[in-house]
Amino acid sequence: MESYKTKLTSAYELVKERLTRAKPGFKPQVAIVLGSGLGKFADLCEEPFIIKYNEISGFPVSTVSGHEGRFVFDKVNDVPVAIMQGRVHMYEGFSAAESVLPIRLMGLLGAEMIILTNAAGAVNSSFNVGDLMIISDHISSFVSSPLRGENLDFLGDRFPDMTNVYDTALTEQAEKMANIPLRKGVYMQLPGPQYETPAEVRMCRTLGADAVGMSTAIEAIAAKHMGMRVFGISCITNMAAGVSDKKLAHKDVAAIAQESFPLFSKLLNDILLNLRK
């Protein structure tokens, strides 16, 4: 079987070669991962160069509705970006390491920073549906580590420090310039794909989580391992199970994320404007 390292390097070489041909000299400064219902942001690109995940041999391909499954390369507000329009999740059957392969690829292409976005359920009962939450920290202890197995020394250390996964300077900047009220809190990744039970949501709260979802923390770990600056935004699409009486459904999650899209898009645009070199 092809080793993980071979899979990653051959995927990198293929994307690098096609990207260089399409956009000579283009090096993404910022990687962006668009979560459920937030993929439209990539449609705002004016001169996108697109590579579908299924065009890259050995690449994990998402099967979830609302996740496009492609890279979009372009400049947004003059900042060269690599956007993942759709991610893969561990609940689709991918290992943690496989799930973060695209993140590592964007790091290898040169992205110094990553913006991770997701749809999440509010564990914190003072939050409202439609809020945007800046991720201040995460709990990933219920899912496997993407760093499990042989360490890839060319990416980072065996035992990387996770004291400050989410970049404080970027968080402060975003809080200062956003002219919308932003929440801030701890994101907890659970395996899914089933939504949590009310008892599990109470557990999340006891452990210090403000929001819960099925992605992102492992991506943040992989990015931090590579030395990337990490910024995370959760779109609160529902109150988590038991926080309100409402039943949970993926179509509602996606619909609320779409409703929050203008706010989300403005925040992302402002962050990129601030990063312009």
- Could you give the CA distance from residue 135 to residue 4 in angstroms, rounded to a whole number? 29
Residue 55 has what DSSP assignment? G
Local structure of residue 246 (DSSP, 8 states): P
**Active-site residue identified among 140, 215, 234, 260:** 215
The residue annotated as part of the active site, out of 53, 82, 84, 92, is 92
Least distance to ligand HPA from the beta carbon of 162, Å?
A: 22
- What is the number of alpha carbons within 13 Å of residue 97 lying toward its C-beta? 12
List interacting residues with ligand HPA (CB under 6 A): 119-121, 195-196, 212-214, 237-238, 240, 248, 253
Under a CB-based contact definition with an 8 Å cutoff, are residues 66 and 39 in contact?
A: yes
> Nearest distance from residue 43's CB to ligand HPA, in Å?
22
Looking at beta carbons, which residue is closest to ligand HPA?
Answer: 121
Nearer to ligand HPA, 160 or 242 (CB): 242
CA 234-214-228 angle, 5° bins? 60
Minimum distance, C-beta of residue 176 to ligand HPA, in the bound complex (Å): 28
Examine the residue annotation and report whether 260 is marked as an active-site residue of this protein.
no
Q: Point out the catalytic residue in the list 90, 209, 214, 217.
A: 214
Separation CA 149–CA 98 (nearest Å):
12
CA distance 215 to 218: 7
Q: Quick one: 68 or 196, whose CB is closer to ligand HPA?
A: 196
Smallest gap from residue 50 Cβ to ligand HPA (A): 26
50/72 Cα distance (integer angstroms): 5
Smallest separation, CB 250 to ligand HPA (Å): 8
Residue number with CB closer to ligand HPA (134 or 212): 212
**Active site residue: 11, 12, 67, 195, which one?**
67
Active-site residue, from 145, 250, 259, 269? 250
Nearer to ligand HPA, 68 or 200 (CB): 200
> From residue 167, how far is each of 59, 124, 135, 256 by CA, in Å?
29, 22, 10, 27
**Active site (annotated) includes residue 225:** no
Active site residue 90: no
Active site residue 250: yes
Q: How many CB atoms lie within 10 A of CB 176?
A: 9
* 187 vs 210: CA distance, rounded Å: 6
Measured from the CB atom, the residue of 138 and 225 that comes closer to ligand HPA is 138
Least spacing, CB of residue 132 vs ligand HPA, in Å? 14
Dist CA 149 CA 185 (whole Å) = 30
Q: Catalytic site residue 4?
A: no
| 138 included as an active-site residue | no
Total length of the chain: 277
Instruction: Indicate the burial class of 192 (C-beta count within 10 angstroms; 0-12, 13-18, 19 or more).
Output: middle
| Of residues 170 and 253, the one with the C-beta less far from ligand HPA | 253
Q: Which of 31, 36, 120, 241 is catalytic?
A: 36
Enzyme catalytic residues: 36, 67, 89, 91-92, 119, 214-215, 238, 250
